[in-house]
A and B are shown apart, each in its own frame.
Chain A
Amino acid sequence: MRYRLVVLALAAVAAWVLPYGLSLYAIHVVDVAIVFAILAIGMGLVMGIAGQINLAQVAFFGVGAYMTAVLTTHVGMGFWTAAVLSVIGTAVVGLLVGTPALRMQSHYLGIVTLGLAVAFVSWATNSPLAGGASGISGIPAPTLFGLDLSSEYLFYYFELIVFACALAFGMFIVRMPLGRRMRAMRDDALAAGAVGAEVRSLRMAAFALASVYGGLAGVLYAGLIRYVAPETFSIANMFLLLAMVIIGGRHSLVGCVVGALGLSLLREALVDVSTYAQLAYGAVVALTVVFAPNGLAGLPGRVRSAWGRRRPDKAAVLGDFQPYEPASPDVVGGPDRDDWILDVRGVGKRFRGLIALQDVSFQVRAGEIRGIVGPNGSGKTTLFNVISGLYKPSSGQVIFAGKPATGRPPHQLAHAGMARTFQNLRLFHLMSVRENVLVGLDRSRIRSIWRYLLWPIGVFRDDREMHRAGDELLARFGLVDFAPAAPRSLPYGTQRRVEIARAMAGRPRLLLLDEPAAGLNGEEVRQLGEIVRSIRASGVTVIIIEHNMGLVMSMCERITVLASGSVIAEGTPAEVSRTPEVIEAYLGDAEVNDNFSAEDELPPATVLDATP
C-alpha cells in the first residue's frame, strides 16, 4: 500500500514537471496522447471489464467532438455549456448503440457496432452540418477561471486533472460492486444472472460508461485542436484504439492507459514510417492475443507466478466447514409446515419439437431437502433451468414463495431468494474466490448507480460491509486460504464448494444444487452431505439433483423421480426405491434382481458401498 502511494506520488510529480522539459510540439503530442488515454479507459471498461465487444468507441469520441464543435460554432454556445451537453448527448448515443447488446454478443455485437461506427464517419463526411470532408474549424478556445486554455501547456494541466479524475473514477467502479458485477457478467453471464446481477442493465451501463469517456475525450479533443474532421474518427483509428487496449491489457485500466500513451507516442516517433508502424502494431496485436492475452498489464503477474513456482508455496488448506446456526423451529417447519415454497404446476418444455419436460408437477415444503433423480436425459437440468428462470416453460407455471415465478428473469428470482449451482461449475474464472463470493453477496441494483457519481462514500461503505460478510462466509466454508486464488487453480472439489458458498452468499430461501457431488471423492461427498444438512438446518430449503444415490437416499426427506421428462414417482427414499416404475427406469426392468429384496443380506465389505 505504501509502495503504491509512493509510486503514485512520484507519477504525479513527474506529470506536473513534465511540461517544463517539453517543446510546444512535444506538449501537443502529449496532449493528444492523454485524450486517447481517456478514450482507452472507456474502451477498457466496456470491453475488458464488461466483456462487450464495442467497436464504436471512436464514434463516441466523434460524437462528443462534433457536438462540441456544432454547439459552439453553429449554435454559438459557450465552450463549457457545449461540453456538458456533448457528454450527455454522447451518453444517449452510447445507450442507443448499446441496445443491440441486449440481443446479441461477441462477433455479432462487434459487427453491428463497427457498422454503426462506419455509418457515423459516413455521416460526418457527407453532412453539411458537420462541414463535410473538411470538417468544422474555428471552435473557440475554452477559458477556465480567466485562464486562456489555448496555451497547450495550460491545457495540459487541465487535461491532466480531468484524466486523473477519469482514471480514478474508472478504477473506483472496477473495484466496487458495480465493476465486480460487470466482471462477473463478462466471465459468465448466465451465472451472473443466477446470483442476481441484472445482466441486461449492466450491459447498458457499460455502454453508457464507455460513451461518457468517449464524449469526454471528444470534448477535450475539440478544445485542444479546435478543429474536427472525419478522418480522426475513422475505422483505422478505431483499430488503433483497439490495439492500444489489447496491447496494454484490456482487463486493467492502467494497462489500457499505458497502451494508449505508449502507442500514441510511438506513432508520433515513427510518423515518417507510419505504414511500417501500422504493420508492426497489427502484428503485435495478433501475437498479443495468442501469447499474452492480458497484454502488458498481465506481464507482472506472469513474472510473479513464474517466480512463485520456484519457491515452495505455503500449502493452502481447505478448512472445515463451520455449520450454520440452526434456525429456530418456527422457521424450519413449525406452524408453516404446510407452506409450499415451490409449487411446480404442469410444467412442459419443448425444444423445436423435442419434448424435454411434460406435465411436471410437484411441490416442495419449506425446510425440506428434496432429491430429484432420474436417468440421463430425463430432463432434470431442464427442470432446474425452468425453475430458476433461464428457460421459459412451454406450458405450466412455477410458483415460488407464493408468487408466480414463470417469466421472471433469473436475477429477479435470485433477489426473491432463489440460488442455484450448475452441473458444470460456472465460476467467474478471471476473478478470485473472494470476488466470486462477493458477487454472490451483492444485492445492489442498477437503479442506485447514481451513488457512484454523487455519493461514492456510501458505495465504499457498502463494499466494506460486503467484504466483512464475505470474509465471514469464506471462513464458514473453510475457504480462507483460497480467497485470493483463481478458481481454476483449485482442486475440483474445492471449486464445487466455492460455488455453493457463492450461492449461499445471497442468503437464499431456496437452494438448487445441480449434481453437487459429481467428481467428488468419498470424503468430499461426506463433507458435502454435512454442508447441505447444515444449510437446511439454518432454514433454507434445498432441492438437489444427484446421481450419487447413496447421498440422495441418505439425505433427502422426499425424492421426485423423473424419466423421459415426466415425474414417474415421488415419495420417501424407501418408497421410491420400491416403486416398480423407478426400478424400470433405472435398470430397464423391475424384474432384474427382483428375486432378492433390498433387505437381503449383502456380502460383507462390499466394494459397492458408496453410502457415506
Chain B
Amino acid sequence: MQVFFQTIVGGLSIGAIYALVAMGFSLVYRTMGLVNFAHGNVVMIGAYVASTFYMTTQLPFAVSMVIAIVVTGLIGVVIEWVLRPLENRDFDLMLIGTIGFGIVLEALATIIWGATGRAVPSPVPAEPLNLLGIRVRTYNLVVLGIAAVAMILLMLFLQRTKRGSAMQAVAMDYEAATAVGIHVGRSNAIAFAIGAGLAALAGGLVGPLLYVSPAMGGTLGIKGFAAAILGGFGSIPGAIVGGLAIGLLDGFAAGQFQGYSEVVVFLVFTALIMIRPTGIFGERTVNRA
C-alpha cells in the first residue's frame, strides 16, 4: 500500500511536469500550427538557467524561475522567427527544422554547462512528509502544487480574460478573428511566450526531481509530446490528463519493469495512440489521407 501510494504521488508529480511540457506544445501548436520538437530542449535550457541562478548566485528559487522564463521565451521567439516561412506550408519540414534547433540547444548547453550534468538540491527540506501514515517526498507535493496553480491560472486566463478568449479565437478561426479586430500576429506571440514560460517552469521544477543534463531534453520532450498527443493534440485539458497519464504509467512501469520501463511506456503509448489516434480529447482527424 505504502509503495503504491508513493508510486502514485511520484508518478503524478513527474506527470505534472509532463503536463506542463505538453501544455506548452499544445498552446504553441494551437496558436501557430508549429509542432516544436525542440520544446523538450527548451525545457532543458530552462532547467539549467533556473538551477544556475539558484545555485550560484543564491537568488531565491522564484527569481531564478523568472529569469529562466525570460530566457526560454527568447529562444521560443527565435525558433518561431526562423521557421516562420514554413508555417502552414510544410509541416514535416518545419518539424525537422525544430529538431535541428533541438540539436543546437543541446550542444549549447553542453558548451556552457558541460556534458556531465548536475544534481539540483531541493528548495524545500529533503525529509519526507508524513501524510496519513504515508511518507511522501515533500518536493513532490511542491511540484504538484505549483503545477496545479499554473494550470489553473492558464485555464482562468484562457476562459476569463479577453486576451485569452481572443487567443483561442485565433486558434479556432484565423479569419473570423481578424474580422473582429484581433491582431493575429500579436496574439500568437503572446501564446508562444506563454508556451516558453511553461517550458521554463517545467524545467525549473524538474531540476530537483531528476538529474539536470544536456540530454534530459530528449526524454522530457518525447514524453511531453507523447502526453500532448495522448490527451488530444492542441487540447489544454487533454495535455493535463495526458501528462498525468504518462507520469503514472512511467511510475508504475518503473516499479514493475525496472530497466524496461521506457520500453513499456512507449509500447503502451503506441498501442493507445493506434487505438485512438485523436487522443482522449482530440477533435481533429489525424490521418490526412
A and B touch in their complex, CB below 8 angstroms: yes
Given A119-B262, A119-B263, A235-B218, A242-B96 contact (CB < 8 Å): yes
Tell whether, in the assembled complex, residue B270 and residue A115 are in contact, meaning their CB atoms are under 8 Å apart.
yes
Which segment of A102-110, A337-345, A369-377 sits at the interface? Answer: A102-110
Cα(A119)–Cα(B270), bound, Å: 11
Tell whether, in the assembled complex, residue B222 and residue A111 are in contact, meaning their CB atoms are under 8 Å apart.
yes
Given A111-B226, A115-B222, A235-B218, A106-B107 contact (CB < 8 Å): no
Nearest Cβ distance between residue B286 and chain A, in whole angstroms?
Answer: 5
Question: Is B90 on the interface with A (CB-CB < 8 A)?
Answer: yes
Given A285-B100, A289-B94, A275-B289 contact (CB < 8 Å): no
CB nearest neighbor in A for B111: A275
B73-113 interface code vs A (CB 8 A; 1 in, 0 out): 00000000011011000111111111111111111101100
CB < 8 Å neighbour of B92 from A99, A106, A112, A243: A106
Nearest Cβ distance between residue A110 and chain B, in whole angstroms?
Answer: 6
**What is the total number of residues of chain B having a CB less than 8 Å from a CB of chain A?**
54
Tell whether, in the assembled complex, residue A290 and residue B226 are in contact, meaning their CB atoms are under 8 Å apart.
no
Tell whether, in the assembled complex, residue A242 and residue B111 are in contact, meaning their CB atoms are under 8 Å apart.
no
Tell whether, in the assembled complex, residue A279 and residue B107 are in contact, meaning their CB atoms are under 8 Å apart.
yes
Cα(A285)–Cα(B82), bound, Å: 12
Tell whether, in the assembled complex, residue A125 and residue B259 are in contact, meaning their CB atoms are under 8 Å apart.
yes
Question: Is B274 on the interface with A (CB-CB < 8 A)?
Answer: yes
Tell whether, in the assembled complex, residue B288 and residue A281 are in contact, meaning their CB atoms are under 8 Å apart.
no
Residues 71-125 of A contacting B (Cβ, < 8 Å): 99-100, 103-108, 110-112, 114-116, 118-120, 122-123, 125
Nearest Cβ distance between residue B26 and chain A, in whole angstroms?
Answer: 12
Tell whether, in the assembled complex, residue A112 and residue B102 are in contact, meaning their CB atoms are under 8 Å apart.
no
Residue of B92, B93, B108 most packed against chain A (CB within 10 A): B92
Cα(A282)–Cα(B99), bound, Å: 8
Please report whether the interface of chain A is mostly helix, strand, loop or mixed according to DSSP: helix
Question: Is A51 on the interface with B (CB-CB < 8 A)?
Answer: yes
Which residues of B lie under 8 Å from residue A127 when comparing CB positions? 259-260
Cα(A422)–Cα(B226), bound, Å: 35
Tell whether, in the assembled complex, residue A243 and residue B266 are in contact, meaning their CB atoms are under 8 Å apart.
no
Nearest Cβ distance between residue A358 and chain B, in whole angstroms?
Answer: 23
Given A99-B274, A106-B288, A289-B100, A282-B263 contact (CB < 8 Å): no
CB nearest neighbor in B for A97: B270
Tell whether, in the assembled complex, residue B110 and residue A275 are in contact, meaning their CB atoms are under 8 Å apart.
yes
Tell whether, in the assembled complex, residue B100 and residue A123 are in contact, meaning their CB atoms are under 8 Å apart.
no
Question: Is B178 on the interface with A (CB-CB < 8 A)?
Answer: no
Give the interface residue-count category, chain A: 35 or more
A267-295 interface code vs B (CB 8 A; 1 in, 0 out): 00000000110110111111111100100
Question: Is A297 on the interface with B (CB-CB < 8 A)?
Answer: no
Cα(A39)–Cα(B218), bound, Å: 22
Question: Is B119 on the interface with A (CB-CB < 8 A)?
Answer: no
CB nearest neighbor in A for B85: A290
Nearest Cβ distance between residue A49 and chain B, in whole angstroms?
Answer: 13
Cα(A279)–Cα(B107), bound, Å: 5
Tell whether, in the assembled complex, residue B286 and residue A105 are in contact, meaning their CB atoms are under 8 Å apart.
yes
Tell whether, in the assembled complex, residue B287 and residue A105 are in contact, meaning their CB atoms are under 8 Å apart.
yes
Tell whether, in the assembled complex, residue B107 and residue A276 are in contact, meaning their CB atoms are under 8 Å apart.
yes
Tell whether, in the assembled complex, residue B91 and residue A285 are in contact, meaning their CB atoms are under 8 Å apart.
no
Tell whether, in the assembled complex, residue B90 and residue A239 are in contact, meaning their CB atoms are under 8 Å apart.
no
Which residues of B lie under 8 Å from residue A106 when comparing CB positions? 91-92, 95, 288
A172-209 interface code vs B (CB 8 A; 1 in, 0 out): 00000000000000000110010000010000000000
Tell whether, in the assembled complex, residue A114 and residue B222 are in contact, meaning their CB atoms are under 8 Å apart.
yes
Nearest Cβ distance between residue A461 and chain B, in whole angstroms?
Answer: 31
CB nearest neighbor in A for B215: A236
Which residues of A lie under 8 Å from residue B225 when comparing CB positions? 111
Residue of A107, A189, A284, A285 most packed against chain B (CB within 10 A): A107
Question: Is A53 on the interface with B (CB-CB < 8 A)?
Answer: yes
CB < 8 Å neighbour of B277 from A103, A118, A119, A125: A103
Question: Is B252 on the interface with A (CB-CB < 8 A)?
Answer: no
Cα(A114)–Cα(B270), bound, Å: 11
Question: Is A395 on the interface with B (CB-CB < 8 A)?
Answer: no
Q: Which residues of A contact B (CB under 8 A)?
A: 51, 53, 99-100, 103-108, 110-112, 114-116, 118-120, 122-123, 125-127, 189-190, 193, 199, 235-236, 239, 242-243, 246, 275-276, 278-279, 281-290, 293
- Supply 20 A–B pairs (Cβ within 8 Å), ascending by A: A103-B286, A105-B287, A107-B91, A108-B229, A108-B273, A110-B95, A111-B229, A115-B270, A118-B219, A122-B261, A239-B102, A242-B99, A276-B111, A278-B106, A285-B100, A286-B98, A286-B101, A289-B83, A289-B94, A290-B83
Beyond the given A104-B286, A108-B273, A119-B263, please list 13 additional residue pairs across the A-B interface where CB-CB is below 8 A. Answer: A100-B273, A103-B273, A103-B287, A104-B277, A107-B91, A119-B267, A122-B262, A236-B106, A236-B218, A246-B96, A278-B106, A278-B110, A285-B100
Q: Which residues of B contact A (CB under 8 A)?
A: 35, 37, 82-83, 85-86, 90-108, 110-111, 115, 215, 218-219, 222, 225-226, 229, 233, 258-263, 265-267, 269-270, 273-274, 277, 286-289
